[in-house]
Amino acid sequence: MHAMKISFLLHNAYGIGGTITTTFNLARALADRHDVEIISALRHRERPNLTLDPRVGLRPLVDLRHEKDNPRHLTPAEIFPSSEYRYRQYSALTDERIGEALASLDADVVVGTRPGLNVHLALQAPSRTVRIGQEHLTLGNHSPRLRNALRRVYPRLDAITPVTEADACAYRRRMRLPGVRIQALPNSVPDPVLPPSESRERVIMAAGRLVPVKRFDLLIDAFAAVAAERPDWTLRIYGKGEESQRLRGLIDRLGLYNHVFLMGAVTPMEAEWVKGSIGVATSNFEPFGMTIVEAMRCGLPVVSTDCAYGPGEIITPGEDGRLVPVGDRDALAQALLDLVRDDELRRRMGHAARENSRRYAPAPVVTQAEQLFEELLAARSDGRPPTGRTGHALVSAGHALKDTMLVAASNVVRTAREARR
């Protein structure tokens, strides 16, 4: 495998969030063999909040500390799609700077990390460069207007990489992008450096932004049943966000102020995960589930809502965790109590979680990414379409068959789960 020059185009590398975390993780892993840089459309502080590997270059384009009042930045963007969630943060100035950066790009591969930036890649990246659009949310999360905008320009990309196979199926089925390779590429979590949890501490752990979709209110409500039976157990919730005060009020109303603790945002989380014995995720919607993988990699079994799309592809119910219906407080409380009551079950599931989550380690994920990049580069140099590699399953008929099989398998698994409940 020859060394490549790889560029990532990121919204704001100086912030905090799942897309930034997973981009930094992948860039660090790729930097072992390749020349990697991150181009940050925006910058609002001197240094990134998260630690970036010193081997990875970082190039900001618009510095909001000095340029937020630039007349061009006060002029609406024309390339970044107006139907994209972040549209108001983009402008004629970002259009220009991103266009200039892409026009001068000498990378073999350029990777966009959100729909609006993928549009820039499709329209402005040089044709000699392999253009890959990542999907860190899901297709169904986008408005019809945004999907139509993407449908018009995405055929110019070489590949789309959703983070789950379920979303890759949705892209193949609903977007109809002939000549564009669609391949799931999961997020990765760095290899742990601390010894794993031994499942002895009487602590349940959760982490994420304190926003409504994460349903930490449901978790606190369900944990009340755990505390009533096992008052020696506590719940720690890590993160910050708009729900902080409301959750604190709920804790007080339920009399759980000695049992439930809002810990604030902590980065990195590994040193915290290993202090717990059970991980929990209660989202209504989860494109992937980074915190689930983080907890499992630290040896915690995870109880999660069975929401679209990520948890069901990460957790094997009964082996390394449990899946419960979305919004079901009683099922969540029961699943937590099952693990709280049984020390041996908790330890066994924790060991399985650590083993099963190795597939999200940097090495296997970066191998998938490198193979994808190499195949797309080879197709480009041979003048072949990116989906046309001989012997590769990613052709239209293969897509259709694979989608049918996945849907059927998903239905079988879901029926089995429901029968066990």
For the segment 152-194, what is each residue's pLDDT rounded down to a tens digit?
999 999 999 999 999 999 999 999 998 999 999 999 998 999 9
pLDDT number for residue 267:
81
> What is Dmax (Cα atoms) for the chain?
67
Closest CA to 60 of 38, 78, 86: 38
Any idea what DSSP says for residue 104? T
192 phi and psi angles, rounded to 5 deg: -60, 145
Q: Give dist(CA 142, CA 140) in Å, integer.
A: 5
pLDDT number for residue 171:
97
Q: Identify the residue with better confidence: 262 or 397.
A: 262
Q: Where are the alpha helices (DSSP H) in 137-253?
A: 144-153, 165-175, 216-229, 244-253
pLDDT in tens, 317-363: 999 999 999 999 999 999 999 999 999 999 999 999 999 999 999 99
pLDDT number for residue 380:
85
Q: Give dist(CA 380, CA 387) in Å, integer.
A: 11
pLDDT number for residue 2:
86
Do 64 and 70 touch, CB atoms closer than 8 A?
no
Please compute, for residue 168, the number of CA atoms within 13 A of its CA located in the half-sphere on the CB side: 24
Do 227 and 202 touch, CB atoms closer than 8 A?
no
pLDDT number for residue 381:
82
Domains along the sequence of the chain with CATH = 5-182 (3.40.50.2000), 203-359 (3.40.50.2000)
Q: Give dist(CA 340, CA 30) in Å, integer.
A: 40
pLDDT number for residue 392:
37
pLDDT number for residue 387:
65
pLDDT in tens, 107-133: 999 999 999 999 999 999 999 999 999
Please compute, for residue 63, the number of CA atoms within 13 A of its CA located in the half-sphere on the CB side: 9
Is 72 strand, coil or helix? coil
pLDDT number for residue 395:
36
Bridge partners, 39 (sequence order): 9, 59
Q: Identify the residue with better confidence: 396 or 330.
A: 330
Rounded mean pLDDT of 196-204?
A: 95
Is 399 strand, coil or helix? helix
Rounded mean pLDDT of 222-237?
A: 98
pLDDT tier for residue 221 given thresholds of 50, 70 and 90: very high
Burial bucket for residue 236 (CB in 10 Å: 0-12, 13-18, 19+): middle
Peptide bond into 309 cis (omega under 30): yes
